[in-house]
Structure 1
Amino acid sequence: MKFMKEESKNIKLELGDVSLNKELGIYYIDMSPAIIHYKSNLYGGGFDENGVPMDKSIDGTIFYFPINIAQYGFILHAHYLKNKCEKTLITLKSCVNKLEELKTTKDNYCVWLHKQYNYRYNIKPPWPSAMAQGELISLYLRAYQLFENESYLDTAKKAYKFLELDVEEGGVKKIDENGYLWYEEYPSKPSSYVLNGFIYTIFGLYDLFRITNNKSVKKNIDLCINTLKNNIHKYDAGFWSRYDLLKKELVRYYYQKNVHVP
C-alpha cells in the first residue's frame, strides 16, 4: 500500500510499502524530502567529520541525538536503494558506527540514553525513549540486511528487550489504569502518552517481527494496536490532533508529516 502526504514548503512524503516480506525496503515514512532540514542546519549542530548529523541544545552544547541520527539514516537508506551510491552507503555506515558508540549495553538489552534535560516533561538525564528504541530497531535491521552484519541483528533484538522494562524500572513500557500497553517516547511522570513516538515504536516492532517471526513481538504489536483502537479518539481535537494526553497541546503542522492526521 502506498499513500502520499503533503507538508508545508511543498514537501511531499511518500509512505513506504507495508508487507510481511522479510526484505525491508524504504522506511514506512519515506523521509527523503526532509533532507532539506539537515542541509539547512535546522537542528543547529551541523555534521561531524564523518557526515553524522548533530544537534544543538538551548545552552549551545553540540550533541548527538539518536532519533535524529536514525531519521537521517532512513534518508540515506532510501537514497541508496534508489541510486546505489557507495558514498551514501559509507555515510550510513558512519551513522551506525556512531550509534554503536552511543548505545549502553547491560545484561541482555541495549538502550540509547539521552543526556540532555527535557524541559517539556521535566525529565532529568540520562533518560530513554521508546521512539528512539523503535526507530533504531528499524534502522539496525536495515543495516543488517545491507551490510550482512549479524551484530546489527543482535543489537535490534537487545533494543527490543529494553522495551520490556517498565517506566518504574527505568524503562519505557507503561500499562495504564485500563490495562492498555503503551511505549513512552518520554517516560514522564505523570505519563504523557505521545502519539507519534508510540507509533514509531510499533514500526520498530513490526520490522523485528518481519525479520524474526518472534511470537512475543507479535503479541506486543497486537496489544499496541488494541491500545490505539481504544484510545486514538482521545487525540482528536475536532479539527486537528493532540500531541499527547498529558498537556493535550495541538500538534504543530510539522507533525502532520508523520503519523498525525488532522
Structure 2
Amino acid sequence: MKNRKCYFFFFFFFIFIILFTNFYIKDILLFEAKLRNFIKNGKFTIRDINKDGIPISFSPKIGKYISPFYVVNYGIYYSEILREKNIITPQNPNLCWKEDESLKYWYFPINKDKVTLRYFKNTADWIVNNLQMINGKAHLIYRFNWPYPKYRYKFIKAPWWSGLTDGYAIILLIRAYDIFKEPKYLITATKLYKSVIYPVDKGGSLTKLNNFLWIEEYVDPLHPLETPKVLNGMIYSFYGVKCYEEKFNVPINLQFSEKLVQSIEKNIKVFDKGFWSYYDAIKNTANIKYHLIHVALLKDLADNYQLKLTKTYNNWGIGAKFPILWIFYSDFSIAKLHFFIDVILIFIIIFGLLKFIICKRLL
C-alpha cells in the first residue's frame, strides 16, 4: 500500500514536470542562450544596450555586433514605453502608432523606468546616419556573416541587407518625425520605402512567392533570387509600407501594401505545420519566440484587414498555448539538445530529493 502511494505520487510528479516544462520552456531556452554566450563571450545575456540606448547583440557564432534590426526594434519599443508613460503624445496618431501586440515577445533587457526620449531619438538618428546606397537603393547594411540553416549556401555573406529591417524602420522614422518634426526622418523613410518595393535582383528587397509579391528579410546580394522568404519579415515590412502609404495619403489603387497583404493571405499555407508554423518557405521550423510572434501577427491581420486566416490562427494558437509542442515539431539543434539536458537534470535532481525525503517516510 505504501509502495502504491509512492508510485502514485511520482506519477503526479511526472505530470507536474510536463506542466512545468510547458510553462517555462521559453525561459529555459533563453537561459540556455545566455549561458552559451557567457561561455563564448563572457556575457550572460543575448543583448545589452550602450549609454546611448543602442542595442548590442552577442552570439556564440558571431561575437559582439550591432544588428540594424534590433536598433529599429528597440526604437519602436522605446516609443511605446514613452507613450505609455505620457512622455510623448503624438498629434493625430495614425497607423504608424498602432500598438503592436507582438512586441511583448521580443527580448528587452532594460527597465522601463530607464527608457528616455534621448534613447528613442538616438535609434532614429542611428538609422539616418547608417543608411547606405547600393545600386541606387537605400539600405541598412549588415556587416557580419549570417549562418542560415537549410539555405543552399549555408550562410549569407556580408555585406547584405534586410527588407524586414528597411521596411520596419519606416515606422520608427515616421514616429520620430511626428515627435521631433525633423525632415531628415521623412527623407530617410522615403528612400527606404522606394528600396523595399524595388526588385531584389536590381538592388531592392522585392521578390515573389508563388507568383505573389514578397518582401525578403534576408537579401543575399551574391544570390538575390535564392531567398528563404521569411513570414514575420514579410508581415513587419508590410506594416512599414502600409504606414508610409497612409502617412502620405497614397490613393488606395496605388498602394503597394494591398498587393503585399494579399500575398500574405494566399501564401500562409506555405508556413503551416498543423499546430505550429514554419519560420520561412525553405521549411525551417519556427522557434517558440517566432511562433508566438506569428500568432500575434496573424491575429492582427485577421482582425484589421479581413483576411481569411482564422483557421490557421486557431490552429497555431493551440501551439502558442502549449509551447511544449515545439519539442515534437522542431528540427534538431544545439538549443534543443541543451534543453533536453536541462530538463533531464532538473528531473533527476528533484526526483532524487523527493525519493529520499518522501518515499522514505511512506515506506
Q: Same fold (TM over 0.5)?
A: yes
- Kindly state the Cα deviation for residue 217 of structure 1 after the two structures are TM-superposed: 9.1
- Per-residue displacement from partner, 1:4-56 (whole Å, max 9, x unpaired)? xxx96699xxxxxxxxxxxxxxxxxxxxxxxxx9xx97434x22221211112
Change (3 A) 1:200 1:217: farther
1:252 aligns with 2:280: no
The 3-state SS of whatever aligns with 1:175 is strand
2:187 paired with 1:174: no
Separation (CA, whole Å) in 2 of partners of 1:152 and 1:91: 16
Counterpart amino acid of residue 62 in structure 1: K
Q: SS of 2:189's equivalent? A: helix
What RMSD in Å do the two structures reach over aligned CA positions?
2.8
Q: Say whether 1:62 aligns with 2:49.
A: no
Corresponding position of 1:116 = 144
**8 Å CA contact 1:105, 1:111 repeated in 2:** yes
TM score, norm. by length of structure 1: 0.77
* TM-score when normalising by structure 2: 0.56
- CA change 1:54–1:209 in 2 (3 A) is same
Runs of 4+ residues over 4 Å off in structure 1? 7-11, 106-109
1:74 maps to which of 73, 76, 99: 76
Secondary structure at the aligned position of 2:235 is classed as helix
Q: After superposition, give the CA deviation of every residue in 1:158-191 in whole Å (9 maximum; x if it has no partner).
A: 1011113322223211134x43101000125523
Distance 1:70-1:242 versus aligned 2 partners, 3 A rule: same
Q: Cα deviations across residues 118-171 of structure 1 (Å, max 9, x unaligned)?
A: 110421111110110111001001011011112101111110111133222232
Q: Is 1:183 matched with 2:186? A: no
Once the two structures are superposed, the pairs formed by residues 14-25 of structure 1 within 5 Å of their partners are: none
Which is helix-richer, 1 or 2? 2
Q: For each residue in 1:192-217, what CA deviation from the matched residue of structure 2 results, as whole angstroms up to 9, or x when unmatched?
A: 11100000000001111121012489
**Aligned-partner residue type, residue 103 of structure 1:** L
Give 3-state SS (helix, strand or coil) of 1:228's partner: helix
Distance 1:88-1:10 versus aligned 2 partners, 3 A rule = farther
Please tell me whether residue 100 in structure 1 is matched to residue 121 in structure 2.
Answer: no
| Alignment deviations for residues 53-106 of structure 1 (CA, whole Å, 9 cap, x no partner) | 111243564222111111111111011112134861111112222222321146
Q: Secondary structure at the match of 1:258?
A: helix
The 1:215/1:71 distance shift into structure 2, 3 A limit, reads: same
| Kept after mapping to 1: 8 A contact 2:135/2:202 | no
Larger radius of gyration: 2
Matches within 5 A, 1:152-163: 152-163=185-196
Q: What SS does the aligned partner of 2:132 have?
A: strand
Aligned 1:136-215 pairs, distance under 5 A: 136-176=169-209, 178-188=210-220, 189=223, 190-215=226-251
- Give the AA of the match of 2:286: V
Quote the Cα distance in structure 1 between the aligned partners of 2:196 and 2:116. Answer: 30
Task: Name the CA shift for 1:61/1:201 in 2 (closer, same or farther; >3 Å).
Answer: same
> Equivalent residue of 2:269, what SS?
helix
- Tell me which amino acid in the other structure corresponds to 1:187: V
The answer (yes or no) to whether the contact 2:128–2:185 under 8 Å persists in 1 is no
Unaligned 5+ segments in structure 1 are 1-6, 12-36
**Structure 1 partner of 2:167:** 134
Shift of 1:242: 0.8
Cα distance change, pair 59–196 in 1 and its aligned pair in 2 (3 A) = closer
- Are 1:205 and 1:217, in contact at CA under 8 Å, matched by a contact in 2? no
Does the 8 Å CA contact 1:66/1:132 hold for their aligned counterparts?
A: yes
